Amino acid sequence: MHTYDNPVISGFHPDPSVCRVGDDYYLVCSSFEYFPGLPLFHSKDLVHWERIGNVLDRPEQLPLPLPGAKASGGLYAPTIRHHDGRYWIINTNVDGGGNFVVTAERPEGPWSDPVWIDLTGIDPDLAWEEDGTCWCAFSGPEGGINVARIDPDKGEVLEGPFATWSGSGLKYPEAPHLYRIGDWWYLLIAEGGTERGHSVSIARGRSPRGPWEGAPTNPLLSHSGTGRSIQNTGHADLVEATDGSWWMVLLGVRPRGFTPDVHVLGRETFLTPVEWDEDGWPVVAPVPESHTAPGGVWHPVPTLPARDDFDKSALAPHWISPFTRPEGSWSLTERPGWLTLRATGTTLDRPGYTFVGRRQQHHDCRVTAAIDPGTGRGGLSVRMDEAHHYELEVGDGQAGVVARIGPLRQTVAGRPVPSGPLIVTIAIRTSDLVPASPELTDGGPTGPDTVAFWLGDPDAPDAQPLVELDGRYLSTEVACGFTGRVVGMYAIEGAVAFDWFEYTPASAPSV
């Protein structure tokens, strides 16, 4: 018997949607302003997920492409389904175009160009009746759940939309999913907002049109007001496993620090079991930190490589960039074995800069890279958005740490460095935190973590510490929005080359 730990996909991977095809499971998440869009995962056991690509990996698949977006804009809440021999994903681009459908013969792609649907709202879902009738449920512009009959191949609305069941009365009913299970249609939604009041509720009826009967125990799931380490639980999808058991994937966060607690990794993907009571209603226990895994064969998969030496012909799918990634802004061939970034903007404070990064997925971790700034300027950055980021910047014979927190921007440390390649490190830890002001907790720490900047490898005797900053200013509760931290490489002047990049999880200290 095996157990699994939550989250099953860590870091900024919110709004999970899952489908099973035979013995295989496929899961897609929101990506908001980042390109490529919609990370896609495969699993054999619902626990071990391997990144197999991105659904929207061509600029022509996105109108405007995402340079027209804003932080926490872009691509919201996809749904993935398999029907009639094809894979289907329906999604919303809130910054241009609205709702659209893409399809593929194989989950690895290629995925089609979007077919746009004239429905105003977010969080769309697809469900088919046995005769092929297709229904789209979505969160409408007036704040309730709507349903429309559509032709997903042509993008035509055939009937509706019309209002349907919108939950138990909590705010922001959204994230609907329709299912035919036995003799009933079930409508699963999120409500309560995506913060601490987030919850999952359900109703059922004999038809996708309703009428709907809400479950007597709604909400099915909420951690609101509890002391559980996992909070903000909601935006769920149901799947039946190969052994006949039922499971729910959903988003949640792991807040840390002094009250009111903050989360820095974004909303992550969690897994929890589902039972069915004698009256045909699902029963969902609180999301466990660990649990007995689904039955069947255990299929561990490789984790993301710790180090990228940039010796492949293309960037790995976990590398993402804010808004867009123009062809001329990066190269793996200009200097073989190096990633060369060319500046497209002069600051990380406004969209339009060159940045290639990956999600921070562990509370304790270290990012180290070998950088040759040449005559350019760039370095490593920890990003939430254009108004909340820290960076270790190298150029003109100087290395410095820059902090942008809301309207404030300051270079907080700097020193001369020799020309040519050098090693730079950002180390993030949850112990030995930067202390707060004496007015809070008697001068004790309040933040969730410390972000430390080094020249060199911190384990090497010649490493030079630069500065340590409080991590709470790079949290969702401070920056606002729907995303989590992304750590990566950037250039804001000329061309900057990176020989390698290493992301290493660190064991959190025992308490």
Give catalytic residue positions.
Answer: 15, 174
Angle (CA) 38-42-48 rounded to 5° is 115
Among residues 15, 170, 131, the alpha carbon closest in space to that of 77 is found at 15
| Location of structure tokens 């039946």 | 240
- Maximal CA-CA distance, the chain: 72
- What b/e string do you get for 399-429 counting C-beta neighbours within 10 Å, with b at 16 or more? bbbbbbbeeeeeeebeeebeeeebbbbbbbb
| Distance (Å, whole) CA 281 – CA 487 | 42
Strands 486-493 and 377-385: antiparallel
Q: Please state, in angstroms and as integers, the Cα–Cα distance from residue 112 to each residue in 17, 64, 89, 159, 293, following that order.
A: 19, 17, 10, 25, 35
Helix residue ranges per DSSP H, 165-237 = none
Q: 3-class DSSP state for residue 68?
A: helix
Helix (H) or strand (E) holding 478: helix 476-479
Residue type for position 486: V
| Distance (Å, whole) CA 145 – CA 284 | 22
Sorted by sequence, the CB contacts under 8 Å of residue 130 that are 6+ apart come out as: none
Strand order in the sheet with 24-28: 17-21, 24-28, 37-43, 50-56
Q: Residue 336 corresponds to which tokens in the numbers above? A: 């073989």
Neighbours of 183 (CB within 10 A): 8
